Amino acid sequence: MKLKTLYGLPRKVIFCKKTLISNQRPNSAIEFLHNKNTKKKTLFIDKNGVSDSWKYSRLKEKINFKDREKKLLKLLDLHRGKYGEYDCIVPGGGGKDSCYASHILKFKYGMNPLTVTWPPNLYTDYGYTNFKKWLSTGSFKNISAKRNENLLKFLTAQATKNLLHPFQPFMLGQKIFPIKTSIKYKIPLIFYGENEAEHGNPISDNLSSLRQRSFYTHNNLKNIFIGGIKIQDILKIKKFKTRDLEPYLPPTDKEIGNFPMEVHYLGYYIKWVPQETFYYSVENCGFKPRPFRTNGTYSKYNSIDDKLDDLHFYTLFTKFGIGRTTYDVSQEIRNNHINQDEGKRLIKKYDGEFPQKYFKDIMKYLKMNEGDFIKLLNKFRSPHLWRKVKNEWKLRHTVNKDGTDD
């Protein structure tokens, strides 16, 4: 009997022989098109059991980053001092990547970046402290989004109920707000840090420094979804106005006009290694990791500014059978920091751990009953990934080959 698959996932679960992650891992996608019927494109693993993410990591070892840095210097020279006080925009919230990107652009390359922040839904104490330290240690000017918080709560709750994707509204704001700030202040050069495509998109997505325009522009707002709901339907709720939704709506080509916007990944020009950006940020930006391990993984410093982060990764585990530890292990194997045996032990120990630390705070924020949330989780489990055994959900297949069907 063929088991039902959700989200367009591959029916057969295959694990990369190198990085231990499976072909159920969804690629980076355009968030404002995401709805209940969206079919996911996923990590490609070839007939030899090797993933695109591993192949690109080997290609990356051969890149001449000295030549790439020369290209960066030429790009910076074209923009430095051309737009008044600021030369470029660096989006971020004081995590290790935005700390590293902004600091190196200012103090190594002589640029004056304007930092732009879409604040977390629910700041952790550690996240807010790192945010303030980032700005003060680098004397960075910052524009933080002013938004309708009631709308954000509503959209986050809807994204959770409709998509089991509580982070979607945050991700939209995080990606769109810097674009609109660029247009408003006429600063066309934007730098993100690492290209998220490195973690599993097709290799071709990593061969340019530029973010694809389709990720931040759209010409038919009627087809845009937030929280799985069309814009028109959100506006039927009388307490929300079009201006409240503006921060989440990508600009049209008409809005951008002839404005020469360029959205680059700094990680294209500089070899980007998460552990090294962490050490740099600790030394230069006052960044501090959590004093405790993050639920669902062994790390203390990745994505620690928002209480929703932990729940977000748990929803990925529920929908795709891949938890936060698997994501972290895969990255560390690609960067030659741990081996497969270590990775397998870490996955067995921590992957899929329930995000208990901030769970009650999140349920209060979403105005959801804890029991109802657990029932909601189970509705989003794909039958080809999960089997219920003695009233407990278990994965059918694991990288350690101890799933119910292995």
Distance CA 63, CA 55 (A): 13
User: pLDDT digits over 314-337, tens only?
Assistant: 999 999 999 999 999 999 999 999
State both tokens at 150.
Answer: 């009631």
Distance CA 302, CA 309 (A): 10
Please report the pLDDT score of residue 299 as a whole number: 94
Distance CA 73, CA 104 (A): 12
Please report the pLDDT score of residue 235 as a whole number: 86
- Give the alpha-carbon dihedral of 110, 134, 324, 300, to 10 degrees: 120
Q: Which of 174, 163, 164, 181 is nearest to 33 (CA)?
A: 163
Distance CA 131, CA 181 (A): 19
CATH of 65-269, one of 3.30.70, 2.60.40, 2.40.50, 3.40.50: 3.40.50
Please report the pLDDT score of residue 239 as a whole number: 82
State both tokens at 378.
Answer: 């189970």
Angle of helix 96-107 versus helix 274-285 axis, rounded to 10: 70
Question: Confidence band (pLDDT; 50, 70, 90) for 371?
Answer: very high
Please report the pLDDT score of residue 285 as a whole number: 95
User: pLDDT digits over 267-324, tens only?
Assistant: 999 999 999 999 999 999 999 999 999 999 999 998 899 999 999 999 999 999 999 9
Q: What SS3 class is residue 147?
A: coil
E strand or H helix that includes residue 61: helix 52-61
User: pLDDT digits over 200-231, tens only?
Assistant: 888 888 999 999 999 999 988 889 999 999 99
CB atoms near residue 238 (< 10 Å): 6
Taking all residues of the chain, what is their mean pLDDT, rounded to a whole number?
95
State both tokens at 384.
Answer: 């080809």
Question: Residue 40: is its pLDDT beyond 80?
Answer: yes
Q: Do you know the residue count of the chain? A: 406
With 0.85 as the threshold, say if the pTM is over it: yes
List the domain boundaries for the chain. Answer: 65-269
Question: Residue 58: is its pLDDT beyond 80?
Answer: yes
Please report the pLDDT score of residue 222 as a whole number: 86
- DSSP character string of 169-186: HHHHHHHHHHHHHHHHHT
Question: Residue 238: is its pLDDT beyond 90?
Answer: no
Question: Residue 42: is its pLDDT beyond 90?
Answer: yes
Strand partners, 89: 114, 190
As a whole number of Å, the end-to-end CA separation of the chain is 16
Q: Is residue 117 left, alpha or beta, with left meaning phi > 0 and alpha meaning psi from -120 to 50?
A: beta
User: pLDDT digits over 226-235, tens only?
Assistant: 999 999 899 8
E strand or H helix that includes residue 192: strand 189-192
Chain centre distance of CA 67: 28
